[in-house]
Structure formats: C-alpha cells, structure tokens
Copies of this chain bind each other. A is one copy, B any other.
Amino acid sequence: MTIREQATEAAAAARKLAAVSPVIKNKALEAMADALLAEQEEILAANTRDMEAGKAKGLKESLLDRLLLTPARLADMAEGLRQVAALKDPVGEIIGGSTLPNGLTITKIRVPLGVIGIIYEARPNVTADAIGLCMKSGNAVILKGGSEAIHSNTKIADVLRKAAEQSGIPAGSIQFITSTDHAAVQELITLNGLVDVVIPRGSGRLIQAVVGNASVPVIETGVGVCHTFVDAGADYAQAEPILVNAKTQRPAACNAMETLLVHKDAVQDFLPHMLEVFKENGVQIIGDETVCAMDKEALPATEEDWATEYGDLRLSVKVVSGLDEALDHIARYGTKHSEAILTRNYANARKFQQMVDAACVYVNTTTRYSDGFQFGFGAEIGISSQKLHARGPMALPELTTYKYLISGDGQVRP
C-alpha cells in the first residue's frame, strides 16, 4: 500500500473509531497488553534482528540500549497499555456551551482529532505507547519509526493491530509505515485533508525537519534549554538537592537543567560549595568569568553554550545582577520549556512566574517535574514546546479537539 492509501484507510477508520464505546476501547487495550506478552518470543526475535544490524552498523552503546527489548521491558509496555485503559476517556466530555437568546443550544463536546501521524526514533516502546494513547482517545494512528528498530516496530504494530481489531477496533485504525525511506516521512507530513496532525518525537534534527517541511499541522516537542535562577537569600540548603536533581537525575531529558543563573549576592555564600557538589556528581561546569575564576576546572562559556541543550552532565553557569537580568537571559536563550526560580522572596517568585514565557514555570522545585506522569495526567505522548493547541506535557485530552453541536427548531439568521 502507498502511504496515501494507508492514510485514506486511516481516515475512513477514524470516522468509525470516533463512535466506538469506551468499553470496547478498554477491552482492546487489555487484549493488546495480553498479546504483547503472548507473542513475546516473536517480538524478541524481531528485536534481535534489529540489535544485530545495529551492532554491525556500529551504533553507540546508548542507542543500542534504547533499542533493546527484554521480557521485563515488554512487561512494562503491557502494563502501560493497561494503565491507559484505566484512565478517564476524554471523548464525549462536554466542555462548554450555552443557550442563545433565540433558543438555539450550543454544546461544545470533546472529540478525537481524527488521524494522528507519529514520527519517532529508536525506542520500540514508543510504538505500543503511541498506539495505546491514540486508541484510547479515539484517533486512528499512522506510525513511522526509525529504521534501526524496523523489525521490532513492525512486529509490535502487527501484534497490537490484530489484537485491537479482534476486540472491535475498526480495521485500518492502526497503520504502520514499513518503508524506511525518508520520502515516506515527506509524504506523510503533506497529506492535508487525510492527516489531522503530526507529532514528531526524537532528536532536535528530526523535529526541525518535520516542522520545516510539513504542511499538515505539527505539534513540536522536545527541545529544552532549561534554566534555574538562584535568588539572593534563597534557601541554599534546599537549593542543593533541587539543583543536583535538575541536572543529574536524567541529563538527557528535555526537562533537565542546562543553565544555572546565580544572583551576584548569592555568589559568596552559595556558589563555591555548590560547584563542589556538582563536581562530586560528575558535572562539568562551563562558566562565565566569575565562575571560571572561582573554579579552575571550569571551561569558559561561549555565546553558543548559553543556547545549547547539552543533554549530558555539562552545565552552563552564569552570575547575574538580579532577577531582571535572569529574566532577560531566559527570554533570550530559553526554549520556553521549563524554567525555575529558587527564592524566599514572594514578589520575585510572583514576578518570575508572571514574566517567564514557558510551558512550565517553577518556584522552589526542580524542572524535572515537567512530565505527564509527574503532573498526574497518567500518560504522556510528548512535551509540547509550541504554544498552539497544547503546551507542556501532553496526555489524552491533548489528543482531542472539539466540535459544536447546535440544536434548534427552525431558527434562521436575521
């Protein structure tokens, strides 16, 4: 099948899927979880093929680890599907409405987006994850995974599609693109009228390629140059574990801290010890002049450093004259993802939350909380770094739109 044919099938299925009851959708999610475990051996065999190809190709150890499936990881994927089944169904929720003076009633009701394209890289667990969230929210899905995981993804999608269709999900609702050709992506992201939205998940390079070339609407995810500003007189003892958590708990995550901004009046009492703590935690400091003078192992920060998402244990550190300079720095170099202030000053906390233009603005805690599960959403399809449609962690409601139902008895427009 061509990609256009797959999308046409998906669009037709989406019409039916929008009306499938929560009972059937949840039964399908449970059946999909069962099938992942029942067909474990075949999935692991497919994964072995990908792993061997990856090793032959000389993939980095970290990439190979992301690619690897194990019985435990498959069990986690199955458990994830069951958790999604247990969440509240977003479809059909009445989210507004009114009765007009002329007697027309307007009801604003949540409905699926329709057909969602997901373009992602090496992790095969995204296949199950994305299919689960799209089915729960009543959306047909077209998946385009990375070539490294092609055998694993193809098998997982196949297993899940069969289980879903046997449970009453309309045929065609789950489409997997088997071509590893880049042209497939280009076709998918320009199928206006068939594909309602595309969500790229993966490297900045992948995301930018999709954003730059798509004509269907895109939800941009992921890039995070996140700052934490330590105010003068902050609770420095409290700041220490927060900053260690923000930088080191998972440095590759988009919500990890990349730049620490320190108020000049906090330098003397706070910074020398904090730099020691970072050193103990394996963090490489890239500092401004003040910081480099204080820490002989620090590297001097360039203009480019302030704008870089390291994604590892490097940390930019800058001393600022006060809150305003911190705000200016964040406005200039931030990516509007997650920003934090550590302070005891009520006015500064309030001003920071008002003035910082970012999806998540924190006071006295770590930017690492920007996550659908941590926020209590029960799921996450990605973290939007754009402002249109959805911002920050996205879960089931963010995979829906709405329509207006207008009911009358003969009204005409005057």
Tell me the residues in window 3-18 of chain A with beta carbons closer than 8 Å to chain B beta carbons.
Answer: 14-15, 18
Tell me the residues in window 311-344 of chain A with beta carbons closer than 8 Å to chain B beta carbons.
Answer: 331
A196 within 8 A of B: yes
A118 within 8 A of B: no
CB A71 to nearest CB in B, in angstroms, measures 25
Tell me the residues in window 177-223 of chain A with beta carbons closer than 8 Å to chain B beta carbons.
Answer: 192, 196-197, 211-212, 215, 217-220
Structural contact, A369 and B406, CB atoms closer than 8 A: yes
A368 within 8 A of B: yes
CB A7 to nearest CB in B, in angstroms, measures 15
Tell me the residues in window 341-368 of chain A with beta carbons closer than 8 Å to chain B beta carbons.
Answer: 349, 353-355, 357-366, 368
A403 within 8 A of B: yes
Complex CA–CA separation, A111 to B331 (angstroms): 16
A104 within 8 A of B: yes
Contacts of A368 in B (CB 8 A): 412-413
CB A277 to nearest CB in B, in angstroms, measures 14
CB A6 to nearest CB in B, in angstroms, measures 18
Contacts of A290 in B (CB 8 A): none
Structural contact, B406 and A362, CB atoms closer than 8 A: yes
CB A64 to nearest CB in B, in angstroms, measures 26
Structural contact, B357 and A406, CB atoms closer than 8 A: no
Also in contact, A15 and B412, with CB within 8 A (given A197-B387, A369-B104, A407-B364): no
Structural contact, A98 and B376, CB atoms closer than 8 A: yes
Contacts of A14 in B (CB 8 A): 357
**A192, A331, A412: residue with the most chain B Cβ atoms closer than 10 Å:** A412
Also in contact, A388 and B15, with CB within 8 A (given A242-B412, A410-B365, A413-B368): no
CB A411 to nearest CB in B, in angstroms, measures 5
CB A402 to nearest CB in B, in angstroms, measures 6
Structural contact, A365 and B241, CB atoms closer than 8 A: no
CB A283 to nearest CB in B, in angstroms, measures 16
Complex CA–CA separation, A358 to B215 (angstroms): 20
Complex CA–CA separation, A357 to B114 (angstroms): 9
Complex CA–CA separation, A392 to B96 (angstroms): 14
A405 within 8 A of B: yes
Structural contact, B196 and A413, CB atoms closer than 8 A: no
Residue of B nearest to A328 (CB): B15
Contacts of A359 in B (CB 8 A): 403-404
Structural contact, B18 and A388, CB atoms closer than 8 A: no
5 further contact pairs, Cβ within 8 A, besides A245-B413, A374-B413, A388-B388? A197-B387, A241-B412, A365-B406, A365-B409, A369-B406
25 A-B residue pairings within 8 Å (CB atoms): A15-B355, A18-B357, A19-B355, A104-B369, A192-B211, A197-B388, A211-B215, A217-B220, A217-B386, A217-B387, A235-B410, A249-B412, A359-B403, A361-B404, A363-B406, A364-B408, A364-B410, A365-B406, A365-B408, A365-B409, A365-B411, A387-B401, A388-B388, A388-B401, A391-B402
Closest 4 A/B residue pairs (Cβ): A365-B408, A245-B412, A387-B401, A389-B389
